[in-house]
């Protein structure tokens, strides 16, 4: 006897349809079948059948339905296949999951993802999707109940369809699949993966105009309905279609999760620097030099030269990383910026130098550190890092030497006359100006600009407006400002570039000048809506002015060409900020910038509690420098209440691994001595307590207790819930289980009162952690299963990943390795999709233990290495009681492999990038795994 839930609910015995009775009775069986072999309390069955106003006899009615269902199963001769048992006040359907179509569907999807090739994958996905005959529980439950019960199944159905389309597109059957994708994309017009698949199929089918029209409609729809821009992958696809990228026609063009980001690839050729590139590379590879600093004035081409060096093949090193310090405002943040740039995260508050040493100790790395001149006080930190990591090689750029031992300074000179002329001619040609230029005029222009590459490029952009002869004449009239006594004098070089920027600035309209002064307030770039907020202009006018400033190369787009995000060079920013001070507009710009950040944080607070969570994780990460800038401005003004308001969304920094910065900020605010409300103090104490637990657990407890005391006195329920949640987490680390129950229980009650669905779910998960530690696995898993169903319908990927990590822990403790594995693997995928490295510390360790007891010693050793690398970053104090879980499993694997082989695989795991780790755990087992 088979149960069919993927459509109208019914049962089949052979070719016969078995009647299951009235709708409510079918719903009871459907719930039990969805939770096959897991106990479902009667009160939960009541809540599903009568969600709003259950009758007083509801529990009795459920018992009657179960009695009737047992009779139906017996009459159909299926009592040996399906059995509804009673467990206390719960019922459990005992059956092989393969007798329920929903579980067979999920199993086929899992097998498809593990398939060796796309043809096998399509066949399995066809089998899986063919089980659907309509919406799940179509004739049995109202839409809201179907969504709550089966939202995850419906999402899996969509993902399976998308996986199938991906495979078919890789197989080159785009013509045959266009109609199918169109139908599904029409039903889900904001689902970006589907839209991208349809665009690719249209483009490959010769319908590029339709693909681009679909992109425009999708962009407008996302903006109107969700208030967001398309994601990175869709933007990259749009750009590739616009460029008619040949890669789009290849058989295989899959994307993979990558971390850290690649070194920026130069978009223009480097002129006149070949000998310097070879000399720097030779010095770093053959002489034992570990720190080279390229010095020179702004605009001389230090960054461009460093990028060219980084593009060379670096044998003997594990990789190359590029870190820009342009947006870093304080020397204390330099090591944190380096950690971000190489994919290292921290969530404990230990010294960043220790975190970096632990991460890099097994890796050889060329680290390019750009724009050091404004954070020279961080030189000793960089020296300590070099001392701590023997295989680290650093190439720095700075207008001044770092002045630390072991530094080899290489001044970057202006271009030669010939190279400067070649650069000017090439850039004027790229700008669309006449290619027939008078060499003597070109030489005069370059001499006026002192052969500085940036100055030459800024001037070349003007040749679209001015003939070169007139350009040379204008530069001649400003000769007193531009004719410099010598190229090696740093202040003079700075004045030369400033004069060149000033000349370009004077050619702007008054509105363009005002916009440039305003956007200089941003750190790490800005969007058009951010610029409009700071300038007070309407979006259309803001866009027009940005186009004008881009034409003269004073601002530039960052990221992907289809992404409306902008930035400017630091030298241009410094000039514009000086002009803002001179025109008395700087304070107004700072205030408007802070207001924009506060609005962004308020919006994130709402949007992150739901399905758009990943988008807002990425957005807040992208805007982190602007958050820092606004927070610094508020701290300098002593406005702690508004500062604490921005900190509201800094709990996401734990997930992304930025807790050290949060500890520094909150400690400074608490010790500033400025007035603040009890609400602000409670929130800051909570944040500081969490960040300080690793190195100072006693102080963390005191701060968290004070935060709870203050929170209970406030009307601000969100702050009260947050303080209780933090105290509950600290209690969990300390294994104070009674306090865990009390804190998370009170927090969850407040969350229900607030209607904060995701926050309440997180607190409920916190309570289940105490149940697990007490060994009450069945109760904990029932609670987590209910939370999982709710979060798949209403939450975000982080909450689902959190729940799955704990459900995997229960299966691990029970020894149910087969059930634990897919839960933990899906948890890894979800957490990686939003960049949460912190929770992965637990998940990777749990999956390693599962592999140890599943006779997969080789893969287990690799995962133990990876989990140890994460624990080195976050600290065993936060791993807490779970640090002991892996000891026996690790001993077992060590015996199986032997010390030498175990150490090799362990070291491999420590070095393995996250995307390779994800691919490893998803890969089917092979002979090499034994």
Asked if 549 contacts 515 with a C-beta cutoff of 8 angstroms, the reply is yes
Asked whether the predicted pLDDT for residue 256 surpasses 60, the reply is: no
**3 state SS of 3:** strand
d(CA 531, CA 592) in angstroms, rounded, equals: 10
Task: Give residue 684's region: left, alpha or beta (phi > 0; psi -120 to 50).
Answer: alpha
What is the per-residue pLDDT for 657?
58
Asked whether the predicted pLDDT for residue 897 surpasses 80, the reply is: yes
**Cα–Cα nearest to 383, from 454, 419, 452, 334:** 334
Q: Enumerate residues 6+ apart whose C-beta is below 8 A from 834.
A: 613, 614, 617, 618, 655, 796, 797, 798
Asked whether the predicted pLDDT for residue 590 surpasses 90, the reply is: yes
Q: Encoding tokens for residue 667?
A: 């400690």
The lowest-confidence range among 163-167, 561-565, 895-899 is 561-565
Q: Encoding tokens for residue 918?
A: 């994800």
**Cα–Cα nearest to 813, from 868, 770, 772, 847:** 772
Asked whether the predicted pLDDT for residue 170 surpasses 50, the reply is: yes
User: Is omega for the bond preceding 670 within 30 degrees of 0, making it cis?
Assistant: no
Rounded to the nearest integer, the mean pLDDT of the chain is: 84
**pLDDT category of residue 477 using cuts at 50, 70 and 90:** low
Q: Encoding tokens for residue 717?
A: 């329920």
**3 state SS of 341:** helix
Give 56: exposed, middle or buried? Use CB within 10 Å, 0-12, 13-18, 19+: exposed
| Number of Cα atoms under 13 Å in the Cβ half of residue 863 | 31
d(CA 818, CA 812) in angstroms, rounded, equals: 9
Write the pLDDT tens digit of every residue in 592-636: 999 999 999 888 888 877 778 878 888 888 888 899 899 999 999
Torsion angle of alpha carbons 720, 705, 636, 608, nearest 10°?
-40
Return the number of other C-beta atoms located less than 10 Å from residue 72's C-beta. Answer: 18
d(CA 91, CA 65) in angstroms, rounded, equals: 12
Look-up of token digits 């701290």: 635
Pairing of strands 320-324, 365-370: parallel
Write the pLDDT tens digit of every residue in 661-682: 777 888 899 998 899 999 999 9
Write the pLDDT tens digit of every residue in 50-87: 888 888 888 888 888 999 899 898 888 888 888 899 88
Consecutive H or E run containing 481: helix 479-482
Consecutive H or E run containing 854: none
User: Is omega for the bond preceding 260 within 30 degrees of 0, making it cis?
Assistant: yes
**3 state SS of 279:** helix
Asked if 678 contacts 713 with a C-beta cutoff of 8 angstroms, the reply is yes
Three-state SS for 151-188 is: HHHHHHHHHHHHHHHHHHHHCCCHHHHHHHHHHHHHHC
d(CA 646, CA 767) in angstroms, rounded, equals: 28
What is the per-residue pLDDT for 877?
44
Write the pLDDT tens digit of every residue in 805-829: 999 999 988 989 889 999 999 999 8
Which string of DSSP letters, residue by residue, matches 801-815?
HHHHHHHHHHHHHHT
Asked whether the predicted pLDDT for residue 348 surpasses 60, the reply is: no
**pLDDT category of residue 930 using cuts at 50, 70 and 90:** low
Asked whether the predicted pLDDT for residue 764 surpasses 60, the reply is: yes
What is the pLDDT averaged over residues 144-157?
Answer: 81
What is the per-residue pLDDT for 880?
46
Eight-class DSSP state of 346: B
Write the pLDDT tens digit of every residue in 105-146: 888 888 887 777 788 888 889 888 988 888 888 888 888 888
Eight-class DSSP state of 224: I
Write the pLDDT tens digit of every residue in 836-895: 877 888 899 899 999 988 888 899 999 988 888 777 666 544 454 445 566 778 888 888
What is the pLDDT averaged over residues 387-394?
Answer: 89
Task: Give residue 406's region: left, alpha or beta (phi > 0; psi -120 to 50).
Answer: left
**pLDDT category of residue 171 using cuts at 50, 70 and 90:** confident
Helix ranges (DSSP H) in 734-839: 737-754, 757-773, 777-794, 797-814, 817-834
Asked if 721 contacts 757 with a C-beta cutoff of 8 angstroms, the reply is no
Write the pLDDT tens digit of every residue in 444-475: 888 877 788 888 887 887 787 778 888 787 77
**Cα–Cα nearest to 367, from 283, 257, 292, 280:** 292
What is the per-residue pLDDT for 779?
94
């Amino acid at each position: 006897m088979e149960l069919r839930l993927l459509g109208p609910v019914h049962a089949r015995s052979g070719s016969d349809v078995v009647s299951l009775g009235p709708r409510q009775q079918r719903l009871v069986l459907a719930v039990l079948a969805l939770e096959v072999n897991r106990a479902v309390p009667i009160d939960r069955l009541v809540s599903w059948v009568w969600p709003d106003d259950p009758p007083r006899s509801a529990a009795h009615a459920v018992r009657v339905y179960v009695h009737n269902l047992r009779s139906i199963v017996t009459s159909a001769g299926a009592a040996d296949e399906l059995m509804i048992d009673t467990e206390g006040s719960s019922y459990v359907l005992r059956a092989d999951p393969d007798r329920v179509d929903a579980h067979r569907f999920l199993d086929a999807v899992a097998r498809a993802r593990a398939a060796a090739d796309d043809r096998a994958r399509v066949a399995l996905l066809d089998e899986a999707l063919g089980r659907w005959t309509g919406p799940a529980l179509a004739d049995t439950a109202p839409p809201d109940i179907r969504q709550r019960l089966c939202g995850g199944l419906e999402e899996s159905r969509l993902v399976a369809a998308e996986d199938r389309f991906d495979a078919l597109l890789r197989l080159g059957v785009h013509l045959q699949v266009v109609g199918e994708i169109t139908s599904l994309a029409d039903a889900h017009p904001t689902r970006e993966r589907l839209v991208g698949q349809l665009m690719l199929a249209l483009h490959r089918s010769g319908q590029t105009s339709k693909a681009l029209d679909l992109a425009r409609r999708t962009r407008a729809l996302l903006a109107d309905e969700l208030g967001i821009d398309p994601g990175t992958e869709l933007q990259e696809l749009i750009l590739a279609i616009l460029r008619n990228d040949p890669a789009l026609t290849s058989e295989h063009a899959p994307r993979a999760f990558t971390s850290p980001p690649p070194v920026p690839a130069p978009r223009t050729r480097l002129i006149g620097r070949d000998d310097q590139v070879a000399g720097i590379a030779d010095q770093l590879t053959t002489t034992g030099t570990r720190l080279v600093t390229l010095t020179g004035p702004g605009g001389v081409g230090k960054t461009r030269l460093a990028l060219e060096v980084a593009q060379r093949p670096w044998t003997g090193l594990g990789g190359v990383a590029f870190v820009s310090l342009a947006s870093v405002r304080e020397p204390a943040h330099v090591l944190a910026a380096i950690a971000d740039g190489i994919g290292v995260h921290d969530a404990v508050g230990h010294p960043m130098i220790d975190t970096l040493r632990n991460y890099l100790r097994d890796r050889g790395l060329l680290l390019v550190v750009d724009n050091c001149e404004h954070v020279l006080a961080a030189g000793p930190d960089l020296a300590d890092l070099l001392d701590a990591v023997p295989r680290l090689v650093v190439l720095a750029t700075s207008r001044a030497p770092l002045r630390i031992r072991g530094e080899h300074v290489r001044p970057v000179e202006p271009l030669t006359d010939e190279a400067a002329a070649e650069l000017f001619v090439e850039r004027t040609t790229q700008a669309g100006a006449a290619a027939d230029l008078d060499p003597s005029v070109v030489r005069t222009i370059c001499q006026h600009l002192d052969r500085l590459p940036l100055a030459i490029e800024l001037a070349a952009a003007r040749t679209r407006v001015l003939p070169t002869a007139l350009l040379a004449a204008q530069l001649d009239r400003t000769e007193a400002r531009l004719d410099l006594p010598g190229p090696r004098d740093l202040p003079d070089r700075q004045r030369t570039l400033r004069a060149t920027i000033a000349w370009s600035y004077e050619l702007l309209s008054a509105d363009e000048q005002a916009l440039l002064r305003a956007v200089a307030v941003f750190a790490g770039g800005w969007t058009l809506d951010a610029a409009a907020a700071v300038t007070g202009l309407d979006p259309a006018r803001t866009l027009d002015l940005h186009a004008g400033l881009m034409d003269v190369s004073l601002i530039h787009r960052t990221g992907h060409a289809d992404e409306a995000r902008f930035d400017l060079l630091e030298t241009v920013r410094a000039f514009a900020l000086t002009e803002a001070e001179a025109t008395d507009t700087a304070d107004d710009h700072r205030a408007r910038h802070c207001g924009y950040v506060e609005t962004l944080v308020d919006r994130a607070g709402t949007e992150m509690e739901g399905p758009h969570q990943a988008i807002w994780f990425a957005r807040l990460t992208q805007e982190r420098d602007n958050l820092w800038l606004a927070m610094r401005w508020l701290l300098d003004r002593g406005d702690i209440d508004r500062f604490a308001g921005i900190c509201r969304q800094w709990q996401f920094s734990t997930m992304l691994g930025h807790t050290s910065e949060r500890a520094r900020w909150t400690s400074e605010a608490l010790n500033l001595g400025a007035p603040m409300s009890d609400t602000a103090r409670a929130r800051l104490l909570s944040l500081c307590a969490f960040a300080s637990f690793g190195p100072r657990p006693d102080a963390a407890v005191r701060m968290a207790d004070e935060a709870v005391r203050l929170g209970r006195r406030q009307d601000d329920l969100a702050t009260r819930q947050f303080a209780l949640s933090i105290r509950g987490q600290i209690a969990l680390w300390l294994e104070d289980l009674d306090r865990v129950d009390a804190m998370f229980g009170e927090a969850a009650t407040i969350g229900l009162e607030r209607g904060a669905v995701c926050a309440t779910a997180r607190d409920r998960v916190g309570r289940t952690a105490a149940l697990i530690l007490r060994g009450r696995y069945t109760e904990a898993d029932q609670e987590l299963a209910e939370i999982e169903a709710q979060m798949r319908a209403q939450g975000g990927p982080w909450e689902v990943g959190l729940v799955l990590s704990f459900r995997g822990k229960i299966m691990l403790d029970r020894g149910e390795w087969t059930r634990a594995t897919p839960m933990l693997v899906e948890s890894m995928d979800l957490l990686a999709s939003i960049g949460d490295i912190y929770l992965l510390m637990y998940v990777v360790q749990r999956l390693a233990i599962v592999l140890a007891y599943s006779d997969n010693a080789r893969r287990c050793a690799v995962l133990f290495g990876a989990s140890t690398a994460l624990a080195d970053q976050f600290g065993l104090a936060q791993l807490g009681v779970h640090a002991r879980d892996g000891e026996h499993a690790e001993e077992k694997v060590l015996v199986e492999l032997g010390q030498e082989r175990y150490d090799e695989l362990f070291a491999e795991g420590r070095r393995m990038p996250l995307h390779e780790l994800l691919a490893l755990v998803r890969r089917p087992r092979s002979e090499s795994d034994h």
